[in-house]
Structures are given as structure tokens and as C-alpha cells.
Amino acid sequence: MKIRAILALVVGLIQSIIGVLTIGFAYVLNYNDGVRKFFKTMLDIERPIEEVLPVFLLLIITFGFFSIISGLLLIHEWRKLR
């Protein structure tokens, strides 16, 4: 039971941190032109980045929120197992 509690805490913290960093990346992607240009060259898309950016932001922010929620639920489970 102790190993499960420690694992829930570690995975929950990592998942929450990844979620926060993902939402931070979405913010930087939205407001920094240099990152936008780099993202466009990385994806090698033909359309202007302003057309596809809202879809990417929606996907990135959704992933970030689900990651944060999942991590917090694991931390809550760790608190119940203590």
C-alpha cells in the first residue's frame, strides 16, 4: 500500500507539472511570433499559421487541463491512502 501511495504522488505531481507547462507553451505560442514561426516550420504546413493556430491552441489547452485534473486526482488519492 505504501508503494502505491508514493507512486500516486510522484505520477500525480509529474502529470500536473506537465499540464501546467503545456498550458504555458500554449500561451507562449499564442503571443510570441518567433515561436509561431518555429512551430510553422516544424509542422511544415502550407496554410498561414493564423488559420490553424486556434485549433492547435484548443488541443494543447485541452490536453493541459486534462493532465492537471488527472494529476490532482492522483494527489487526492495519495492523500486518502496516507
End-to-end CA distance of the chain: 9
- List pLDDT tens digits, range 35-50: 888 888 888 878 888 8
Question: 21-74, pLDDT tens digit by residue?
Answer: 999 999 999 999 898 888 888 888 788 888 888 999 999 999 999 999 999 999
Q: For the whole model, what pTM was predicted?
A: 0.86
Q: Distance of alpha carbon 57 from its chain centroid, rounded?
A: 11
State yes or no: pLDDT of 1 exceeds 80.
no
Query: CA 19, CA 26: separation in Å to the nearest integer?
Result: 11
Delimit the domains of the chain by residue range: 2-81
Neighbours of 5 (CB within 10 A): 15
Alpha helices, DSSP H only, in the chain? 2-31, 33-43, 49-81
